[in-house]
Amino acid sequence: MTCQEEIANMKIAMQGTIDRKPLVMALDDEPDILELLRVNLEKAGMEISTHLSPAPFITELETRIPDAIVLDIMLPDMDGLEICKRIRGDERIASVPILFLTARGDELDIILGLELGGDDYMVKPFSPKELIARLKAILRRSRSKKKEPETLPRIGGMEIDSNRHEVRIGEQKINLTATEFDILKILAQKPGWVFSRQMILDRLWGDEKDVLDRTIDVHIKNLREKLGPAGRLVQSIRGVGYKLEE
């Protein structure tokens, strides 16, 4: 094979990677909801795999890693919260963003979904346009993690690797959700600076959001718990927001 042919093949391979549609896996026991998701996500340029029950969904997760997951809570055999916990406990797929899409819309339900590892939460009936906007925000943040690594300072022995989407404290690897990692990275980019909840929401979702301020508090709580003793580095400034500082 000539040098020019090798270059041409490399370009084709690279183009295939660039053009790959993001894969969204959806689990919901309502066929009409899945069809609505399929039509709108495909129109938005995404690939979607739909499931009516947990068993085939879990089976597919064993062989494919999606770019994002849309997950109902009230399901046959196993509820979505339990599935979320299982995903977060599997290191291979622990960082895949999860968007809950459910009829359970009480604030306590939303907080519980986020505490168990959800990245976002939408209540049925829902706007397909808003769901697409939120998924795009999640996918945009995921793609940004795959760019050139950022130089982030080590704080209190904590190392944040943007390229690998990893946090390490000494030899221990800390498994964070996509949103928890993004919040930690925002704080770490300017140690000692105080970020309000609104500033963090704007950086995570931009204008594509209708999110409770309490959402940030829940993610911060989860982040501190996962960091263990290093969680003290994430400090609350009463009435203002949060900062990362020794």
**Count of C-beta atoms within a 10 Å radius of residue 88:** 21
pLDDT at position 11, please?
42
Among 112-116, 132-136, 162-166, 213-217, top mean pLDDT goes to 132-136
Peptide bond into 125 cis (omega under 30): yes
Answer whether residue 163 shows pLDDT above 60.
Answer: yes
**Count of C-beta atoms within a 10 Å radius of residue 243:** 17
Give the residue among 155, 149, 224 at the shortest CA–CA distance from 183.
224
Answer whether residue 127 shows pLDDT above 90.
Answer: yes
How far apart, in whole angstroms, are the C-alpha atoms of residue 190 and residue 205?
A: 19
pLDDT at position 6, please?
47
pLDDT bin (cut points 50, 70, 90) of residue 68 is: very high
Q: Over the chain, what is the mean pLDDT?
A: 84
Pair 185, 141: CB distance under 8 Å:
no
Type of residue at 15? Q
pLDDT bin (cut points 50, 70, 90) of residue 148 is: very low
How far apart, in whole angstroms, are the C-alpha atoms of residue 94 and residue 178?
A: 9
Give the residue among 224, 226, 218 at the shortest CA–CA distance from 234.
224
**Domain made up of 158-244: CATH architecture:** Orthogonal Bundle (1.10)
pLDDT bin (cut points 50, 70, 90) of residue 146 is: low
How far apart, in whole angstroms, are the C-alpha atoms of residue 238 and residue 223?
A: 18
pLDDT at position 66, please?
95
Which is more confident, 215 or 144?
A: 215
Answer whether residue 60 shows pLDDT above 80.
Answer: yes
pLDDT tens column, 187-196: 998 889 999 9
Q: Regarding the domain delimited by 20-144, which CATH topology (the fold level of the hierarchy) does it fall under?
A: Rossmann fold (3.40.50)
- On whether the pTM is more than 0.85, the answer is no
The domain ranges of the chain are 20-144, 158-244
How far apart, in whole angstroms, are the C-alpha atoms of residue 5 and residue 3?
A: 5
How far apart, in whole angstroms, are the C-alpha atoms of residue 216 and residue 110?
A: 12
pLDDT at position 151, please?
59
pLDDT bin (cut points 50, 70, 90) of residue 18 is: very low
How far apart, in whole angstroms, are the C-alpha atoms of residue 227 and residue 169?
A: 8
Cα distances (angstroms) measured from residue 40 to each of 57, 81, 170, 223, 234? 20, 25, 44, 33, 39
Type of residue at 56? P
